[in-house]
Every structure is written in C-alpha cells, then in structure tokens.
Amino acid sequence: MPMPPCRWSPTVTRNWMTHSYGNCSPAPFLWLTCGDSAMPANEGVDLAWAMGLAPAEAVEYFESKGYAIGLHWHDVEAAAQAKAFTVAGVLKLDILADIKTATGDMLKNGGTLRDFERQLTPVLERKGWLGKGLVVDEETGELYGKRLMPRRMETIFRTNMQSAYMAGRWRQQMATVGTHPYLQYVAVMDRRTRPAHAALDGRIFRYDDPGVGVIYPPNGYNCRCRMRTLTPEQAAADPVGPESTDGRLEEVDQEYGIPGQTRRATGFRDPKTGELFVPDPGFGINPGQVAWQPELDKYETRPARQYITASLTGPAFARGYAQAKAGKAQNAQSFPVAMTDGAPGERRMISLMQADMAEQAQRDVPVTLPDYLLAQQAIESPTRVIDVPPLRCYALEWQDVWVVSVVRDHRLTDVRRGPVLDDLLPEA
C-alpha cells in the first residue's frame, strides 16, 4: 500500500525516540507521522530536504521565548519554562543565546541531534563550557553555572524541540476547532510507553475542557504521545466517545527536584482506573496554552467567548491568580477575559494583565476568581455602557448588585461591585 504524502500539516508530527537492538547501543531515530502511518528516518538523512521546513508555528513559538535563569531545572517554574528558553545550570545569557541559536537553527532547517552537537560543541569548547564541574570567574569568583556533558546536550535538544513542535501543533489545532473541536490522546503503545500514558490512549476531550491543559503532551521526558483532532461526528462514532474532566481535576503536592521539596500540581483522576494522572515535574503545563493564546480576534464571537469562559474556569487561570495573589505575577503574562461584539478580524478581545490581577487580588476586599466570570458577563452582556474617557465601563445589574468592568484600550484594569452604580464609576 503506498505511503500517504509526508508534508507538514495539523496531522503531521515529529517524535524523537530511541530503539535498542539486542546488545547494540541505542540508535536515535526521527519518526515522521503521516496521517496514521509512521516511518523511522535515520539521522544521516537530509531531513530538511525530506520533510521541508518545520511548521512556522513551531518556529514562532520557539523564537518568542526569552531567557529564564536557573541553576537547577527545578528552579524555573514549568510556566516560565514554557514561556522562556532555559537550560538548567547555565547562568550566563551569552551561553543561553548560543544554545538557543543552535536549537532554533535545527528547528528551522530540520537538523538532527548530530547536527546540533556539531554546531554547538566548538562554541562551548571555546568558551570552556564543555565537560564536568562548575564555571567560575577566576577574578571575581562569580558562579556562571555548570558545564554541559554530551548527554545534557541531547536532553536540551530533545526537550526544546519537543515543546516547540507540541506548541506549534496546538496552534494549528486551535485554528480548526470550528470543524474539529475534539482532541484524542494518542500513545505509541509499545513496550516503552509509560502505563499512565497508555491508560489515556484513545480518550477524547473537547478542546476547551480544562483537563486538556493538564494532559496535553508532552507529559514527561521523551514522551512520544500526541493529540489528534476529531470532528463531532468522528468523536461520537468512536467506541470510546467524548468525556469530560469536570470534577476530576485535583491539586496535589508533587516532589519537585529536591527530596522533600514539593510544589502544587494539577492531576486528572481517571474514572476508568481510579488512578490520579499527574504529568512529570516540569511538564504540567501545555506549552502552547501558556506561551501562546489563540488569536481570538480572528474567530467568530460565540466560539471565542466559549473559549474564554473555559479559560477563566480552568486550572491555568486559577494558577495565575494564585501566583498574582502571592506576589509572583509575571509582567508579560496576560489572560483573555472577554470578547466584545463585532466581526472576525476586528479588535474585540479584552485581556487582563497578571500585574493588574495582582493589584486586584491583594486588596483588602479582593477581586475573586468568580468575579472575573461576572466581569466577562458585564462586558459581553452589559446593562449599561458608560464612557469616562479614556475608560469605558461595562455595567451589569446582577442580583441587586452592580458589577462594573473598567476597560482601557482593550485591557481590563478593574472589576468593581456594589449596590449603587454611580459609586462604582471612576471620576471623569
């Protein structure tokens, strides 16, 4: 039977894996997934020629990452890792830049691990960053970080490529939710598949299910799982059928790098097995959701509003609120909170900066998580709209109380509640 054409599309992915043959050394392969077929390509093949350039979405995600500094991998939160390029133990920005450049080149040009090592090794050797031990300034004693062993280079390559492709894949999938709103978990299902990942194989969830942000691959180092899109008809016809994680997401304390040190993580209580599925430490964030939000202004109003409501009630927004309340807001982080009326292509999305959220959450009478749902309703279905230039106030009368969303240049700057509307309006 002829192979389907291999080209980049929402149904094409790369998965890095390693095969062992008897007593032979592990041989790295790059799997090309074309529809439901897969074929291994030896690393000696010119992959840039064989496959064409990487998806623009994956490259855009990777290049949008800034830099995050951490001596150990657990020093950088998973959300920050998704938004920023980081290499554990590297504390100098110029070395991070060298590593990021090499990884980006491989992503754009279809390079292999061997190509990555060939490009980066001379640079690291010249700057004294290859081998064992710490790198310290001989004059000042300043610690620059830990040298990199070849094994670490493989981990850097695989992890960043994996995250970039999954983030790019997520963006492609979100562009088709109008016709393919369901996601099906696909595990490789061989002897190296983790049992917890195998248990999710074939399971179907709507794209806006809060649990998708928890279980979306990768869920650990060298995780080869993926998600594929389905139409409503395909989801209904599948023997497994769609399901929901509603009421099945649980917060747990997960050991994170140092024995005895834990951080909060979200898990999915599988109703079929009774087991709690929690991604490995550092993988509990869908890199596409954290680093990239769909360009909601391009969508019809109704699905965009549904997406926002799901986001406001999901674990990622709750984590963002908890960070803001604890004084750990990231200035660049924002969340969509409402969509005004209009046509696709017009600027309609209202966003909330995490820095503004921090100020609102830390008041004596704080803005709460449910208040943001009311803020969305006030903007999308207002009782009154009052302009107080340069502000626009969307007022909703709700259970004998007024809720006012204060917006400036499509940014939610405040949420106010009280019995008298005039008392809630900002001064002109």
Q: Which amino acid type is present at position 140?
A: T
pLDDT score recorded for residue 51: 28
- C-alpha to C-alpha distance for 89 and 98, rounded to whole angstroms: 15
Residue 255 CB partners (closer than 8 Å, separation 6+): 261, 262, 281
pLDDT value for 273: 92
pLDDT value for 303: 78
End-to-end CA separation in angstroms for the chain:
72
pLDDT value for 90: 45
Backbone angles phi and psi of 243, in degrees to 5: -140, 175
Tokens for 139? 């004059």
pLDDT at 84: 47
In the prediction, which pLDDT does 364 show? 93
Tokens of 165: 């492709």
In this structure, are residues 298 and 346 in contact, taking their beta carbons and an 8 Å threshold?
A: no
Using alpha carbons only, give the angle 247, 238, 231 rounded to the nearest 5 degrees.
85
Low-confidence ranges of the chain (pLDDT < 50): 1-53, 66-93, 132-146, 291
| Beta bridge pairs of residue 71 | none
